[in-house]
Amino acid sequence: MGFVGLGSIGAPMARRLLRWPGGLVVHDVDPRACAAVKGAEVATGVAELASRVGFVSVMVRDDDQVRDVVGQIVASGARPLVAVHSTVAPPTPAALASAAGPRILDAPVSGSVIGADAGTLAFMVGGTAEDFAAAKDVLALMGTRIVHAGPVGAGTAMKLARNLLQFVSFTAAFEAQRLASAAGLDVRALGEVVRHTDAVTGGPGSVLLRGSSEPLTPDDPWTGVFTHVRTLGEKDLGFAVELAAQLDVDVPLARYALAHLGRALGLPEVAP
């Protein structure tokens, strides 16, 4: 088992693989990072590492570093199964697979350092069914949610969709923070309420469990649920926008959501 890239997330991921039968071989451009994964053997370079193992996890900083690592593996003549955990640009996984052959998985992670430390990461994997099956037991040492998203590139697409929701939500949370601050509220207390109720309801991502973005039909069981959600949401968003206007707080995402909530939920437009 090999691991390349021992940064803040890569190092705790690698430590989870020390339990793999046959041991772990690691490499990082910083020798101190390798020394921090106690119990692992240290390779002098990527080529040496690839020649010693049948599976390589890659968790480096960006597309250029991913291409460099995979290029060194290809040049070495070794043919391990390579799982790229870095979040890369949409075309990169297919380009890597084309250059390296079919032994590439794009397997980005979600869960941050907390999940890496706890071994509870989510893996979104793109690749062949055969390669996914070969990687699943390895990934299970590092995570508790392992999804075969589809062919090479699908793991990256799923990670980007997941992060779109996260970072747009962060922006919306900032609007809520400014509104709460202007109203004289304790923002930390608001955050605790949000975390508590999201743990109960599933938070914004719960609407994805419907499984489709197509418009709802009248006989769909989700229609009644989302009609109720829209009624409550439009009422509360309307009040929030009204309060923001009173407090002179700009809330463009809230205004957009108020105008488009029904369509986002798959419901027909309401006639003015």
- What Cα–Cα distance (Å) separates residue 10 from each residue in 66, 128, 210, 234? 13, 24, 33, 43
Residues of the chain with CATH 1.10.1040.10: 159-264
The answer, yes or no, to whether residue 101 has pLDDT greater than 70, is: no
Rounded to whole angstroms, how far apart are CA atoms 253 and 240? 11
159 catalytic per annotation: yes
CATH number, domain 2-152: 3.40.50.720
CATH 3.40.50.720 residue ranges of the chain are 2-152
User: Tens digit of pLDDT for each residue in 55-87?
Assistant: 999 999 999 999 999 999 999 999 999 999 999
Residue 78: what pLDDT?
93
Q: Which CATH architecture has domain 159-264?
A: Orthogonal Bundle (1.10)
pTM of the complete model: 0.92
Would the CA dihedral through 144, 148, 153, 158 be positive or negative? negative
pLDDT in tens, 148-192: 999 999 999 999 999 999 999 999 999 999 999 999 999 999 999
Per-residue model confidence as pLDDT tens digits over 125-137: 999 999 999 999 9
Q: How much is the pLDDT for 104? A: 95
| Sign of the dihedral through C-alpha 139, 142, 144, 150 | negative
What are the backbone angles phi and psi of residue 126, rounded to the nearest 5°?
-110, 135
Catalytic one of 38, 136, 159, 235? 159
